[in-house]
Chain A
Amino acid sequence: MSDDIIAEIKRDYIYNLAKKGKRVDGRAFDEYRQIEVETGIIDSAEGSAKAKIGDTQVIVGIKMQPGKPFPDTPDQGAIITNVEFAPIASPSFEPGPPNENATELARVVDRGVRESGAIDLSKLCIKEGEDIWMVFIDVYVLDHDGNLMDASALGAIAALLNTNFPNERYELGKDAPLPIIDLPVAITAAEIDGEIILDPSLDEESIASTIITMITGKDDSLAGMQKSGTGPLTFDQLFHISDIVSKKAKDIRKKYLETS
């Protein structure tokens, strides 16, 4: 995920702590940093949210506008997800079009929203075969301290929950809330020297041999998965991760999404 370089001595330190069941910031292996979600912060967007996990910060804005449907789904709206690694967020982010990491991140966030069926796309049809609503999910990373995946996914669904159809602007009647029927939550785990930790910080991410994200819906079913990094993963590790993911996702969904 990250191109940041890390000092050899820090790498050893994190490894050695992991062997003793500890982490640099004192968290338990399955413990998240402090999460904060703030919604409705951008007036020019149809919906918006800022999600923070520890020092990682992303802002998600939703824009909606009428467009043409895809030929195979003439009566359904479209979701377009884009992630910008704004250069304000990290010394290793450079201005320019999204690189492979930003593209991967965008596609995983998109998959979570799409495959969980979070948005009722059939309600986004204006006129079958001619006009549908396009929902643009734009994620801007503001501060990168690891686990952009979970922050972006959480920001995206929180922003969608906060979104209204801009009907009045296009003279299509009154503004109305976007129909949200599922609440996908992404949980990311990292493997460090055989140990599995959740919510890796930037340092942990940069020494992890592999990182895996699982996105689950309200009914605990998997809506998306992504493994990145070159390290292999055993089946035992994979099932262990999927066990802890369910519980975490439920907690986060309850605390940050179902109340809003």
Chain B
Amino acid sequence: MSNKPKKLIEKGKRLDGRKVDELRPIKIEVGILKRADGSCYMELGGSKVIAAVYGPRAVHPRHLQEATQVIIRYRYDMASFSVKERKRPGPDRRSIEISKVSREALEPVILKEYFPRSVIDIFVEILQADAGTRTVGINASSVALADAGIPMRGIVSSCAVGKVDGEVVLDLTGEEDNYGEADMPIAMTQEGKITLLQMDGNFTKEEFTRAIELAKKGCKEIYEIQRNALISKYEGVNNV
């Protein structure tokens, strides 16, 4: 591991040249997998993620099915080569927790009562990790759900805010996360209803308020990108 740089923010600029309230570059592609019902590839700086949606489909094992609504399963998985030291393939405690909160972040927008006794599977594969992977996973899943034609009340957008060198910043890099003082991933609907909130580190009340403001700004920008990606996929398709 490299040593801690003296300063992570100098004259309002971060190590990668961003301002404190700026997201990393985003790349997004919809419908990249043939077999999946819906899919999305998303890059946020050095984090590269694929999300795929299967369903609604029959539930196995059957005792998991619910009589009045669809069940949602979410699997967050890191590829062995997505991090510096090879990660052993398969789930660990971290990925199980992330899978749970990510599922809960998306469930509120899905019209679950439309598909009783079935399941919607959301699979997220982290190909390269540089902080914020759970937020990218949620963003990509949201788009993949829409791509799969799942009826939804809206789209969930997610980003992380944190504290670096005593300053509240948007969208931490891996390095900022390592040496920063706080990290807070957050997800919200486009109406601003919070569906995921986690935090570790240290915020004063004032910093927390500022962080929420930054997160709103970040999620709004991501929402526009998600929306445009979905629209552009269907550009050129004539209205029927």
Interface residue? A86 (CB, 8 A): yes
Contact A44 B81, beta carbon cutoff 8 Å: yes
Known A42-B48, A142-B33, A145-B34; judge A88-B80 contact (CB<8 A): no
Contact B35 A44, beta carbon cutoff 8 Å: no
Q: Mark A57-101, 1 if CB is under 8 A from B, else 0.
A: 101011101000000000000000010101111110001010000
In the bound complex, residues from chain B placing their C-beta under 8 Å from that of A63 are: 80-81, 86
Smallest Cβ distance from A248 to chain B, in angstroms?
24
Contact B89 A88, beta carbon cutoff 8 Å: no
Contact of B50 among A88, A91, A144 (CB under 8 A): A88
Contact B50 A42, beta carbon cutoff 8 Å: no
Smallest Cβ distance from B133 to chain A, in angstroms?
11
The B73-128 residues at the A interface (CB cut-off 8 A) are 75, 77, 79-86, 89-91, 121, 123-125, 127-128
**Distance A142 CA – B86 CA, assembled complex (angstroms):** 19
**Distance A91 CA – B39 CA, assembled complex (angstroms):** 13
Contact A86 B80, beta carbon cutoff 8 Å: no
A-B contact pairs, 13 of them (CB 8 A): A43-B46, A44-B46, A44-B128, A55-B35, A61-B79, A63-B80, A82-B89, A84-B80, A87-B121, A89-B52, A90-B35, A91-B35, A138-B79
Interface residue? A136 (CB, 8 A): yes
Contact of B123 among A43, A88, A144 (CB under 8 A): A88
Smallest Cβ distance from A61 to chain B, in angstroms?
3
Contact B127 A59, beta carbon cutoff 8 Å: yes
In the bound complex, residues from chain A placing their C-beta under 8 Å from that of B129 are: 44
Known A61-B79, A87-B75; judge A143-B35 contact (CB<8 A): yes
**Distance A97 CA – B91 CA, assembled complex (angstroms):** 10
**Distance A242 CA – B77 CA, assembled complex (angstroms):** 39
Contact B34 A138, beta carbon cutoff 8 Å: no
Known A44-B128, A62-B81; judge A55-B90 contact (CB<8 A): no
Contact B123 A169, beta carbon cutoff 8 Å: no
**Distance A127 CA – B201 CA, assembled complex (angstroms):** 43
How many residues on chain A are close to B (CB under 8 Å)?
A: 30
In the bound complex, residues from chain A placing their C-beta under 8 Å from that of B81 are: 42, 44-45, 48, 61-63, 136, 138
Q: Mark A167-211, 1 if CB is under 8 A from B, else 0.
A: 001000000000000000000000000000000000000000000
Contact A91 B54, beta carbon cutoff 8 Å: yes
Contact A42 B123, beta carbon cutoff 8 Å: no
The A7-47 residues at the B interface (CB cut-off 8 A) are 42-45
**Distance A87 CA – B125 CA, assembled complex (angstroms):** 9
Interface residue? B36 (CB, 8 A): yes
Interface residue? A140 (CB, 8 A): yes
Contact of A44 among B34, B82, B125 (CB under 8 A): B82
**Distance A116 CA – B129 CA, assembled complex (angstroms):** 33
Q: Which residue of B lies closest to A42 (CB)?
A: B128
Known A44-B129, A63-B86, A91-B57; judge A143-B34 contact (CB<8 A): yes
